[in-house]
Amino acid sequence: MKWKMRFIRHRFACNPAQLPPITHNGRPLKTSRRAKQHCPNGYNWGYIGLGPKALAHTILCHVAGARTANRLYLAFEREVIAALPRSGWRLTDGDVRSWLARYTRAQREARASRQEIARPSANSGARQA
């Protein structure tokens, strides 16, 4: 079944209790277990901290599952959630999946590059004249 996901916030307030819930297709987004541990008072964004960590984990959990969220939520917080404007924002499932694809591709390339550097070349044992 195909569906579109929207995460919407309309305004920012210092007290999370004053904020409307983050929604997915008009319904409040269910908070992940780890998010509740990080920030029992609710979500936040626009900086790096407990509220943004909770939001990052919940969104990734909803889009990609708990296993992926557990591995990548800190990077997602740093690269996406911390950059969201405090005045309001909108993310689609496509935005999140695009970030996941870019991030995992970059990680694979970095890993391949490290392996390439660590691998001794065939001529490394030969003396130069």
Q: For 25-39, 60-74, 87-101, which range has the lowest pLDDT when averaged over its residues?
A: 25-39
* Strand arrangement of the beta sheet that strand 27-28 belongs to: 27-28, 23-24, 6-9, 89-92
At 3 the pLDDT is 42
Determine, yes or no, domain membership for 126: no
Q: Pick the residue with more confidence: 28 or 97?
A: 97
Domain that holds residue 46: 6-118
| 1 located within any domain | no
When divided into structural domains, the chain yields a total of: 1
CA distance 39 to 53: 8
d(CA 16, CA 51): 9
15-33: b (≥16 Cβ within 10 Å) or e: eeeebeebebeeeebebbe
Q: Answer yes or no: pTM beyond 0.85.
A: no
Q: Is residue 124 part of a domain?
A: no
Give the mean model confidence (pLDDT) for residues 84-113.
90
Tell me the pairing of strands 89-92 and 27-28. Answer: unpaired
Q: Which helix (H) or strand (E) holds 73?
A: helix 66-79
Residue pair 29/62 in contact (Cβ under 8 Å)? The answer is: yes
pLDDT band at 9 (very low <50, low <70, confident <90, very high): very low
Residue 125 lies in a domain: no
29 within domain boundaries: yes
Any long-range contacts for 38-44 (C-beta under 8 Å, 24+ apart)? Answer: 41/16, 41/17, 42/16, 42/17, 43/16, 43/19, 44/16
Distance CA 26, CA 9 (A): 11
Percentage of the residues of the chain whose pLDDT score is greater than 90: 33
**Residue 83 CA to chain centroid, in angstroms?**
11
Helix (H) or strand (E) holding 37: helix 33-38
